[in-house]
Structure 1
Amino acid sequence: MAAAAPPSDEECPVCHDDFTDPKILPCTHLVCRKCVLSWLHTGGNQAGCPLCRASILPHGCSGQDVAALVDDLPTDIITKAAVESRRVLNEKHVCVCDGTTKATSFCMQCSIKFCPSCCKVHKMIPATREHEIKQIATLTVDKLAASYQSSCAVHPGRPVEQFCSSHQELICLNCSTSTHRRCPDVEGIAGAAMVKRQRLKEQEKELEGKKDELQLQVCQLDIAAADGLTTFKAMKDNVKSTFDELRNILDKRCRDATAEIQNKQDEFLQDNKSQKSDLEKKRARSAALCSTVSRLASASDDPLLAMLVKLKSRLEDAELLSRHNDVRQEVSAAGIGDFFFDPQSSAHLKKQIAEYGQMRDPKQPQRPFRG
């Protein structure tokens, strides 16, 4: 199983390389497409997320094209743009004209580096003279990633400029005057993104609270485990101390009582471990969802809307947003203490011990101890 969290937001947690085609799993964890395919090939179609074991593919998909199912998983275009931007800025800056001349400019639309001479030519061409040219020295990963612009799904090559709330789609101007002309809720990308971003910020704040709440509950389980172990140790010590006084006669009973308590301890720890595991999984999902929301909230308008359309159901995960009860457990040994260590019961037991030798005759029924 892969590590619980990747060392970098731009690094695949499975192969530990930079993301190339980051896929958003149903649990909102990010894994490279090739790693998802490899993981499913190794573990079968029902293999869970390498981070939290949540299902990757829908149940009953046996016999279907796994590659096609993986391709249907949403691609995190925000992370993909950031990784590609970092790659562009880290590689050698040479002009496309000969591959050796130093490039000083970068066309944000064409994603091409130019030397000063080629940059002048680029600005003279009618089709590209309006393109935005940036000096490479002033570019940052965030600026370059933010320049990413989605193309219309219906009219490839045309930039999306509006958002249809009725169909939850990014559309170009051609679409707004044709297939979406009768839609009542078509607005500019900036306006739609502003509303969505505000909602995302509110959700991010809520998720941060839920993440902290889950972490607190995990800590409470740790405290409950420590308290439980202390209680169980005290119980076993009391049992041993009590039966030491009667060792010659009650040695077997002492071992039996210790074993009973050990069984209860095992049950307690198993239950604690199970609850903690469930909370850890929810916390991991909460952290992954929070990270996704954070990335979305800081993204530029059109990819933000594009991703929200695909991730709407995941961002409204009712299980993560529901309130969790206090999970701390209280363990009491009062019932056992009353039976074993009550002074009146001890006196009665000593009396029975004094008479116990008379019960060794196998022909006589053995009377049970009564506290």
Structure 2
Amino acid sequence: MATAAPPVPEPDDMDCSVCHEQYVQPKLLPCGHLLCHHCLLSWLQSQDQALCPLCRCAIVDPEERGQKSVQDVADGFPTDLAMADLVEAHRLLKQSHSCICEDAAATCLCLTCGDLFCESCRKIHLKMKVTRNHTVEDLTSLTADKVAGSQHAACAVHADKTTELFCPTHGESICHLCATSRHRCCPEVKDMEEKVKDARAVLAKLAVTLTEGEARLDKAIQQLDAHLTETEKQTKKAVAEIEAVCARLEKSVQDCRHRLNELAHSACSDVKEAVTETKTCLLQRRGKLTSHKHVVQRVQEAKNRDTVSTMTPVMQTRVGNLDCSATLPSGAKVVSKVTVVIDAEAVTRIEKELSGLGQAKVMSADLDIGLVPVLSFHDNHGENIVLSNNKQTAERRGSDWDDGIVVASQPMMTNMLYEVILDRRDAYFGTMLTGATTTPPEALTLPYEAEGWPSAVVINNNFVDVNGGQWLDTNIGRKLRDLPEKSRMGVMLDKKRSLHLYINGDDQGEAASSLPDPCFAFFDVLGPYRQITALPVRRMP
């Protein structure tokens, strides 16, 4: 999937939103916007809540801010080297320059060696045998991106040589002399062009991920806008119906109209508030994706190879931690629609029963934009578990096989598949367990292992354990044993509240029936299994 090259930033786009000057050591914020390093420091020091001055997204978590100094927080953000290169090139072009002969003003720049020349020296430069193949361009026609791309980094050890190679062992760019001396024992030294080619391929994939995420969020936002419009129509329809009834009530109409209008508008207001709040969350998420997309594309198009090499792993980590889905945030309000229902029989009794006329009925709206619960894991988990990726990835650390239970943060909804992918496992044999517990995670005392759990349905490879005492002789979990990496496993509660096991999208059968409400999906990262990641919750037919 090809993406259009991003435009080179205009001078105004290189200005910090705090100092309104061109960036100096631009720091990349979590939302994708940039601030000068010194501006970021002063902004953090002056704000009780560290919010981006452009989009109001949080710059740093309050808990993290309390654990680190402002200096450490600011230093911890990556520098956008692609933007820094463009800013420096723009500053260079704005300055007045003298030729290397010091007798005249410079009119051109050699992009190969970086020297400035007047017209006379330019002719000499291009006639000399060692420099005749250099690229020399007029200063008036040069752009910042051309200048930035022409700057080749000098070797950190040998300042007179440029970096043409990359050492993966030490993660640094080196010259040929370093390769034969300091890095001669390194197992693999790559040509810088090969390294940059690989980096650009990674950046291209990141750009596609962000573009697709933008598209999903655009669809969700458009449907929420349509839902808001429909809610407004329903409000007008309800008010019109109320007015028609009130017209028949003559003397009593004023009090009735006032009460019913308030009822309709109040119900619709709650719906609009819920939809608007959800839309705001999605717009903020999209803003993050767009900001990071611009950064990725900027790095992707950067001419400076060291910049591309350095920024690529930073952006891989950053994009990996972004939420590119169009799912509702955890705890978001339910999106509903409102209809005002008038009791026809009450109209004939209106003078006697005016106080009981009319009601507002709110019904769930089925929007096909993936607004379903997000499967994330609760903070109450096994001692060997470490959560990451917005609490959607669980990794079991250490050598102990057990203490690896993770429980979903939200209760299970019927006909929704709560599924994980097995990211990593060891070579030996074993089984990972799954099922559902009837105790909210915040109130759970987690067992060492899931077998024998008194408040859960535990699905093993050759039996199902119900509440730690009823052992059902069933083999619906037979495929759980020795599942390979990248396999998917999950549980689903049907409308009859029967628990089903799914493996790689296929229903393995019913594990237990008549489960109470609420139920919480759990996964026991046991034995050879080391890491799982939650997948988007899916509605099953």
Q: TM-score higher than 0.5 here?
A: yes
Equivalent position to 2:57, from 54, 58, 78:
54
Residue 331 of structure 1: SS of its match in structure 2?
strand
1:207 alignment counterpart: 210
Gaps of 5+ in 2: 1-8, 360-541
1:282 alignment counterpart: 285
2:193 alignment counterpart: 190
Kept in 2, the 8 Å contact 1:23–1:74? The answer is yes
Equivalent position to 2:220, from 194, 203, 217:
217
Counterpart Cα distance in 2 of 1:12 and 1:6: 13
Structure number with the higher strand fraction is: 2
Would you say 1:22 and 2:26 are equivalent positions? yes
Which amino acid is the alignment partner of residue 303 of structure 1?
T
Structure number with the higher helix fraction is: 1
Kept in 2, the 8 Å contact 1:224–1:330? The answer is no
Spell out the pairing of 1:235-274 with structure 2 (5 A cutoff): 235-249=238-252, 251-274=254-277
1:364 alignment counterpart: none
1:289, distance to aligned residue in structure 2 (A): 0.8
Equivalent position to 1:136, from 135, 138, 150:
138
Summarize deviations over 1:241-284 as a string: whole Å, max 9, x none. Answer: 21232242364343222222222122112112211211111121
Would you say 1:147 and 2:150 are equivalent positions? yes
Summarize deviations over 1:135-191 as a string: whole Å, max 9, x none. Answer: 435643322110223345566665333334455443444654566555545311111
Gaps of 5+ in 1: 357-366
Aligned-CA RMSD value: 3.9
1:306 alignment counterpart: 310
Summarize deviations over 1:205-237 as a string: whole Å, max 9, x none. Answer: 332232233223222222221211111121122
- Tell me which moved more, 9-18 or 141-150: 9-18
Q: 1:42 to 1:109 in 2, by over 3 A?
A: farther
Kept in 1, the 8 Å contact 2:271–2:337? The answer is no
1:361 alignment counterpart: none
1:346 alignment counterpart: 347
Kept in 1, the 8 Å contact 2:289–2:322? The answer is no
Equivalent position to 2:173, from 170, 173, 191:
170
Equivalent position to 1:90, from 84, 89, 94:
94
Aligned residues: 343
Residue 212 of structure 2: SS of its match in structure 1?
helix
Which amino acid is the alignment partner of residue 331 of structure 1?
K
1:80 alignment counterpart: 84
Counterpart Cα distance in 2 of 1:253 and 1:155: 88
Q: 1:61 to 1:318 in 2, by over 3 A?
A: closer
Q: 1:270 to 1:181 in 2, by over 3 A?
A: farther
Q: 1:270 to 1:167 in 2, by over 3 A?
A: farther
Which amino acid is the alignment partner of residue 319 of structure 1?
D
